[in-house]
Homo-oligomer: A and B are copies of this chain.
Amino acid sequence: MTSENTVRSQNSGAAGRPRADRARQVADVLRQQVLSEAFGAGPLPHEDVLAQEFGASRNTVRQALDLLRGEGLVRRVPGSGTLVAAEKVPHGLNRLEGLAETLHEHGEVVNEVRSFGPVRAPGAVARRFGLPDGADVVYVERLRRLNGLPLSLDLTYLAPDIGALLEPADLAHRDVFRLIEEAAGQPLGAADITLEAVNADAHSAAVLEVPRGAALLMLERLSTLADGRPVDLEYVRFRGDRLAMRGRLLRDLT
């Protein structure tokens, strides 16, 4: 290996680097251990043990734990040490699945239907569906809870013929994907998705019961039936502290 002016070498992650850089390094590995439930329901190892494990000082470990506490991932309990604060559930990223489908092992998803009914589609929405300008679509807004706590706020536009067959009462306890498939008499085929990280505006924060500015995972998803027709356009805000997306990518450069 060569060494350059711009490159600082290090040993055991300790020498010659600002503590904030080393704390981030420790925090990232710990975050993933928390997510993969390496510590179960118990506390994280003691700071001395972590310092040994990471070849870092106790102060660096303490700063790393502060970072994770700032994210709401862990909390400090006097006498008990550092505990995992809230379960962060994994949303599958390899197949098109509804929330209740992907989280069935993690608890019950209940939806509060905040709005349901026909609306004139904005031009940009009509075009995504291949509908003429000014066509009606069905708009559904749901606050979705997992085990009682808000998980996501979903804004959904449905193709008018499909939306007309849905009952709001069914939307409270079932994924819209299943309802669409029953209404259409065919399975969904695929979806184009966009994932972003955004800060919660004041009103969305209040609805999701997080502080203003909290990081949200924002999903836009246009789902099509097996025959290729777009029927479901969704804008979903997931609480960043409660959900992670997990999947597998193949290299396949051919």
Chain A residues within CB distance 8 Å of chain B: 1-4, 6-13, 17-18, 20-21, 23-26, 28-30, 32-33, 35, 38, 53-55, 67, 70-71, 88, 90, 93-96, 112-120, 122-125, 139, 141, 155, 164, 166-169, 187-199, 201, 203-204, 213-218, 220, 226, 235, 238, 240, 244-253
Indicate if the CB atoms of B32 and A220 lie closer than 8 Å: yes
CB-nearest residue of chain B to A118: B11
Helix, strand, loop or mixed for chain A's interface? mixed
Indicate if the CB atoms of A250 and B190 lie closer than 8 Å: yes
Indicate if the CB atoms of A155 and B187 lie closer than 8 Å: no
Oligomeric state, in copies: 2
- Beyond A7-B168, A24-B155, is A117–B1 a contact (Cβ under 8 Å)? yes
Cα distance A215–B191 in the bound complex, in angstroms:
25
Indicate if the CB atoms of A244 and B196 lie closer than 8 Å: yes
Indicate if the CB atoms of A117 and B11 lie closer than 8 Å: yes
Indicate if the CB atoms of A196 and B213 lie closer than 8 Å: no
Cα distance A13–B10 in the bound complex, in angstroms:
58
Indicate if the CB atoms of A195 and B251 lie closer than 8 Å: no
CB-nearest residue of chain B to A50: B122
Q: Which of B6, B67, B191 contacts A248 (CB 8 A)?
A: B191
Cα distance A38–B157 in the bound complex, in angstroms:
20
Task: List B contacts of A70 (CB < 8 A).
Answer: 199, 201
Indicate if the CB atoms of B195 and A2 lie closer than 8 Å: no
Q: A26-B122, A53-B122 are in contact. List 16 more A-B contacts (CB 8 A).
A: A7-B116, A7-B117, A8-B116, A20-B203, A21-B114, A30-B124, A71-B198, A90-B194, A93-B249, A189-B250, A192-B248, A193-B248, A195-B244, A196-B244, A197-B216, A199-B214
